[in-house]
C-alpha cells in the first residue's frame, strides 16, 4: 500500500511565509475567529484522519468499488460509511460553510489544504463530501432563505449530501440542448422529468437524504442556454418541521464502470415527475450552477495536487530503496562489480534520469500548491474583504485563473504521476505497488467538470479575447512589479520578467489571429493555456524563493534549488507552446474530413 506523510511544513510555508495568512486574516473583520494556532490544529487533525482512516481505504475501495444493487440502490465499499460519518462528525464538510447555518466559516486558504489531504489519500472518497460542499455553496449564493434554512445545516452536518445534475446522454459541453423538463405544479413546485448521466454521488448509502441540484427547462423557456433553470430536488421530500417525508419520484438507473475512482458512484439518474423547487429566477440556472462549477474546477486542481503528491512520495521512497546499476555520482565503491551481489550497486535515486522524473513531480506539486493558494486568497478577498475595489479585482483574477487552476494543474498532475510510475519500472505497472491506481484515479481530473480543452477555450475566448487581454495584462503587471522588487538574487527573477513579456506578446499575437480568423481560438487555446500555466509557475517559484530568502536551513535552501531546476528544465517548454500557438490553425484544418473516416 502506498505511504503518505502530509506535507505540513510545506503547507505552513505557503500559508504563512509566502502569503502572510495571519496578517491577511487580521485585515478581514469576518475572519477574526481565524488564527494560526487554530489552523495548525486543523491541519494536524486532517493529516491524522487522512493518513489513518482514508489511505487504508484507498486500495480496498478501488478493488471493491461502488456496487449497484438494483432497485435504485448503491452500496459504497466497506469502511466508506464509517469514514464518512467520522468525517462529518469532525465538522469537515462544513469547514468553510457559512456560520449562520452551522458551518465553521474557515477561509478557502485553509479549506483547500484540508481538501488536498483528502484527495491525496483517497480520491474516490473525496468526491462525496466535495459535491456536498459545492451544492451548499450554490444554495447559499443563489437559494431562497427558505431553501437555505431547509438544506444548509443538514448538508454541513453530513446528515444529507448534495449533487449537481447537468449532463444528459446527448448534452455534455452544450447544455443548451438539455431535454429535462420542469412543469409547474399548483403549489409552486415543479415536476421534473428527464435523465442525467455521469452524476457523481447520485446515489449511495452514506447519508439519510441526497439533495440534487438539477438543470432543466420550463415549458416556455427560450431556446439554448438562455432557457435553463436550476432546481433543488431532494431524494426524500422534506416536511415542514425538517423531518423526512415520502420518497421523491427519482432513482438511480445504473452506475458506470470506470477506469479509476471506482469507489465513487457515478450514476445515471432518472427523474420521473420528481418534485423540485426553482433556485433563483427562471432561466438563470446556468449562472447559478456555475457558482458550483467554478468551485469544483478549483477543487479538481486540488485533486491533481493530491495525485502528484502521493505519486511523488512513493516514487521517492522506492528510488531510495531500489538498488540497481552503477550511477556516475553514486555512493558505492566504483571498484566493485555492479551486478553481483546487488548491494554493490547504487540506489536508483543516484541516476540522473530518475532524479529528473522525481524533480518534475516535486516541482509540479509545490508550484501547484502555491498557485492554488494564490487563487484561494483571491477567493477569500472576494468573499471577505470590505473593500469594493479589492473585491472587484479579486473576482476578475479568479475568473482569469479558474480554467488554469483546473486544466494546467491536472495536465501536469497526470504527467507527474506517470513519471513517478515510470520510476518504479515494471513494478509501477503492477497493482500491488499502487502506482497504477494513482494514475488511473488522477486521469479523470482532466475530463470532468469541463474537459481541459473546454477550459482552454474558456480562458482564451471568455477571459482573454472578450476584454482584449486586459485581465492578462493586469496579472502580468503584478508579476513584473513583484520581480523587480525581489530581494533574492535568483535566476527566477529574470525568468519571471522574460516569461511575462513572452506571454504578453503571445496574447497580442492570438488576439490578432482571432481578429482575422475567429475560429483560430479552437486551434491554439490548449497551447495558450499551457504557456499561461508555465508563466504562472515561474511567478509561484519566485514567490517561494523570495519567502525563503534569508532563512537558514535545508528546507529553505531547497526552495531555491527547485526553482533553479524549474527554470532550467521545465520553463523552456514555454517556447514550444508559443511556437505552436503562432503556427495558427492552418496545419490542423488542412485535412478533409474524409481523412478521419476509416474505410470499411
C-alpha–C-alpha distance, residues 137 and 291, integer Å: 7
- Parallel/antiparallel/unpaired status of strands 160-165 and 209-216: parallel
Residues taking part in catalysis? 449
Burial class (CB in 10 A: 0-12, 13-18, 19+), 182: buried
| Dihedral sign computed on CA atoms, order 516, 521, 527, 530 | positive
C-alpha–C-alpha distance, residues 180 and 195, integer Å: 7
Q: Are 307 and 438 in contact (CB under 8 A)?
A: yes
Q: Are 311 and 420 in contact (CB under 8 A)?
A: yes
- Residue 378, SS3 per DSSP: helix
Q: Are 400 and 472 in contact (CB under 8 A)?
A: yes
Residue among 57, 191, 214, 29 at smallest CA distance from 123: 57
Location of C-alpha cell 473525496: 126
Residues 6+ apart with CB under 8 A from 542: 479, 482, 483, 486, 490, 492, 493, 495, 496, 563
Give the CA dihedral 563, 565, 569, 573, nearest 10 degrees: -10
Residues 6+ apart with CB under 8 A from 10: 366, 369
Give 209's strand partners: 160
End-to-end Cα separation, the chain, in angstroms: 47
Residue among 410, 523, 505, 395 at smallest CA distance from 461: 523
Segment holding 554, helix H or strand E: helix 554-565
φ/ψ of 412, rounded to 5, equals: -70, -30
Ordered DSSP codes for 399-436 = HHHHHHHHHHHHHHHHHHHHHHHHHTGGGGGSGGGSHH
Amino acid at each position: 500500500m502506498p505511504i503518505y506523510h502530509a506535507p505540513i511544513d510545506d503547507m505552513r510555508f505557503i500559508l504563512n511565509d509566502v502569503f502572510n495568512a495571519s496578517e491577511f486574516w487580521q485585515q478581514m473583520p469576518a475572519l477574526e475567529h481565524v488564527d494560526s494556532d487554530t489552523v495548525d490544529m486543523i491541519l494536524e487533525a486532517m493529516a491524522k484522519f487522512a493518513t489513518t482512516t482514508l489511505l487504508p481505504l484507498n486500495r480496498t475501495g478501488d478493488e471493491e468499488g461502488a456496487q449497484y444493487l438494483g432497485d435504485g440502490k448503491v452500496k459504497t465499499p466497506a469502511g466508506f460509511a464509517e469514514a464518512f460519518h467520522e468525517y462529518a462528525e469532525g465538522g469537515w464538510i462544513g469547514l468553510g460553510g457559512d456560520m449562520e447555518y452551522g458551518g465553521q466559516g474557515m477561509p478557502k486558504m485553509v479549506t483547500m489544504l484540508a481538501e488536498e489531504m483528502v484527495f491525496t489519500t483517497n480520491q474516490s472518497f473525496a468526491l462525496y463530501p466535495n459535491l456536498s460542499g459545492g451544492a451548499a455553496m450554490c444554495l447559499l449564493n443563489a437559494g431562497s432563505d427558505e431553501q437555505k434554512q431547509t438544506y444548509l445545516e443538514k448538508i454541513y452536518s453530513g446528515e444529507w449530501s448534495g449533487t449537481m445534475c447537468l449532463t444528459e446522454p446527448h448534452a455534455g459541453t452544450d447544455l443548451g440542448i438539455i431535454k429535462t423538463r420542469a412543469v409547474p405544479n399548483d403549489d409552486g413546485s415543479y415536476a421534473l422529468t428527464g435523465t442525467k448521466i455521469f452524476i457523481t454521488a447520485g446515489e449511495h448509502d452514506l447519508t439519510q437524504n441526497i439533495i440534487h441540484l438539477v438543470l432543466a427547462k420550463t415549458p416556455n423557456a427560450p431556446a439554448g442556454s438562455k432557457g435553463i433553470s436550476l432546481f433543488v430536488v431532494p431524494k426524500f421530500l422534506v416536511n415542514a418541521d425538517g423531518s423526512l417525508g415520502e420518497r421523491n419520484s427519482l432513482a438511480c438507473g445504473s452506475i458506470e464502470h470506470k477506469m479509476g475512482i471506482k469507489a465513487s458512484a457515478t450514476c445515471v439518474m432518472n427523474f420521473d415527475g420528481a418534485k423540485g423547487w426553482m433556485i433563483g429566477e427562471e432561466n438563470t440556472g446556468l449562472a447559478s450552477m456555475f457558482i458550483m462549477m467554478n468551485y469544483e474546477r478549483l477543487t479538481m486542481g486540488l485533486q491533481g495536487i493530491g495525485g502528484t503528491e502521493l505519486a511523488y512520495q512513493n516514487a521517492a521512497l522506492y528510488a531510495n530503496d531500489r538498488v540497481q546499476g552503477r550511477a556516475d555520482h553514486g555512493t558505492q565503491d566504483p571498484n566493485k562489480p555492479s551486478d553481483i551481489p546487488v548491494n554493490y550497486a547504487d540506489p536508483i535515486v543516484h541516476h540522473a534520469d530518475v532524479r529528473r522524473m522525481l524533480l518534475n513531480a516535486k516541482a509540479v506539486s509545490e508550484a501547484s500548491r502555491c498557485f492554488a493558494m494564490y487563487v484561494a486568497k483571491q477567493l477569500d478577498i472576494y468573499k471577505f474583504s470590505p473593500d469594493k475595489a479589492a473585491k472587484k479585482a479579486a473576482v476578475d483574477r479568479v475568473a482569469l485563473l479558474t480554467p488554469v487552476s483546473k486544466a494546467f494543474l491536472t495536465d501536469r498532475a497526470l504527467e507527474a504521476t506517470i513519471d513517478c510510475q515510470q520510476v518504479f519500472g515494471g513494478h509501477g505497472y503492477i497493482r500491488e505497488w499502487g502506482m497504477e491506481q494513482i494514475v488511473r484515479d488522477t486521469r479523470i481530473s482532466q475530463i470532468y467538470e469541463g474537459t481541459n480543452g473546454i477550459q482552454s477555450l474558456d480562458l482564451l475566448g471568455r477571459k482573454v479575447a472578450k476584454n482584449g487581454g486586459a485581465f492578462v495584462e493586469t496579472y502580468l503587471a503584478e508579476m513584473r512589479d513583484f520581480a523587480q522588487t525581489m530581494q533574492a538574487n535568483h535566476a527566477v527573477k529574470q525568468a519571471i520578467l522574460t516569461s511575462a513579456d513572452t506571454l504578453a506578446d503571445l496574447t497580442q499575437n492570438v488576439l490578432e489571429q482571432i481578429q482575422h480568423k475567429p475560429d483560430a481560438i479552437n486551434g491554439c487555446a490548449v497551447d495558450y493555456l499551457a504557456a499561461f500555466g508555465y508563466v504562472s509557475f515561474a511567478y509561484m517559484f519566485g514567490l517561494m524563493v523570495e519567502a525563503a530568502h534569508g532563512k537558514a536551513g535545508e528546507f529553505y535552501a531547497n526552495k531555491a534549488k527547485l526553482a533553479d531546476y524549474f527554470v532550467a528544465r521545465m520553463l523552456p517548454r514555454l517556447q514550444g507552446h508559443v511556437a505552436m500557438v503562432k503556427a495558427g490553425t492552418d496545419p490542423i484544418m488542412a485535412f478533409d474530413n474524409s481523412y478521419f473516416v476509416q474505410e470499411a
